[in-house]
Amino acid sequence: MSQPHRTLVTGGTGTLGQTLVPRLQEAGHTVRATSRSARSGDDVEWAQMDLADGTGIRDAVAGVDVIIHTASDPLGDTEAVDIEGTKRLLDAAAEAGVSNFVYISIVGIENIPYSYYEAELEAERAIESSDVPSTILRATQFHPFVDEMLGMVTRLPVWLLPTEMRIQPVDTGVVADRLVELATTEASGRPDPVGGPEVRTVGDLATAYREARGSWRPVVRLPIPTATFARFREGAATCPDHAVGSVTWEEWLETEYGAR
């Protein structure tokens, strides 16, 4: 497998970016990582870049062979960052002669009506219609994301949750490892998605989470009668045929919060 000389990780400060950068370095890549803030250290060359207005994109991309695009702003201006920002990054990648534009996307986005997912889908389309050779890897929800979502209800006396929603939490390290494998100078198109070892309901995940956090507050079903949640209930965000990760939710909770 040919190793690229230099790899750019957009969103180097994110959940995935932070896990990915050291793994790429271990695999022999010279890594440049981006953030909107000025940063230094970690044996990484940091580039300041903002996808929303294009600041720093050209400089960030100059001289790299591979881009792994993990920067995203799900709660912000997804149009400016995830769609237009990705297009700006693609333009710079084309100009710089990048050999492989690797994008991390989400399983099931074409079947779940949700504005952030629509933005990711639009970004996928822009990538595939660009002249830059690309690789689009889809993954299920990362453990820290599920933790963050469930963390939002911990202060409530009753944990009201869409308990029937089905997801397949995956270890961020497993996704990062797959991205390292795909970060060659040869693009892979649409490799198989990456999912965690088990498809679980949110109610079931919340019960394990409650135990790990030492709480006994009741987990109560919150009916959300929207098409979005119906699709989640049906398992549209899962890929049981590609359950490649081995770390279960309980194992991750134990590492994160310790055995109780």
- Is residue 72 involved in binding ligand NAP (CB under 6 A)? yes
Given the complex with ligand NAP, which of 174 and 218 has the nearer CB atom?
Answer: 174
The residue from 46, 114, 142, 252 that contacts ligand NAP (CB under 6 A) is 142
Minimum distance from residue 26 beta carbon to ligand NAP (Å): 19
Site for ligand NAP in 3-32 (CB under 6 A): 11, 13-17
Q: In terms of CB distance, is 4 or 11 closer to ligand NAP?
A: 11
Minimum Å distance from CB 250 to ligand NAP? 18
Angstrom distances, CA of residue 68 to CA of 17, 95, 104, 114, 145: 9, 17, 8, 24, 20
231: its two tokens: 């699709």
Report the alpha-carbon distance of residue 143 to residue 170 in Å, rounded.
Answer: 6
Q: Does 37 bind ligand NAP (CB under 6 A)?
A: yes
Q: What's the closest the beta carbon of residue 157 comes to ligand NAP, in angstroms?
A: 27
- Whose Cβ is closer to ligand NAP: residue 10's or residue 184's? 10
The answer to the question of residue 134 lying near ligand NAP (CB under 6 A) is: no
Cβ count within 10 A of residue 155 = 9
Q: Minimal CA–CA distance to 213: which of 160, 253, 171? A: 253
Measured CA distances, 34 to 14, 142, 148 (Å):
10, 21, 23
Among the listed residues 44, 49, 161, 244, the single contact to ligand NAP using CB under 6 A: 49
Return the number of other C-beta atoms located less than 10 Å from residue 238's C-beta: 23
Residue 43 · residue 25 · CB < 8 Å: yes
Q: Is 81 in the site for ligand NAP (CB under 6 A)?
A: yes
How far apart are CB 188 and ligand NAP at their closest, in Å? 17
Considering only 6, 54, 145, 208, the residue that binds ligand NAP (CB under 6 A) is: 145
Q: CA Rg, the chain, in Å?
A: 19
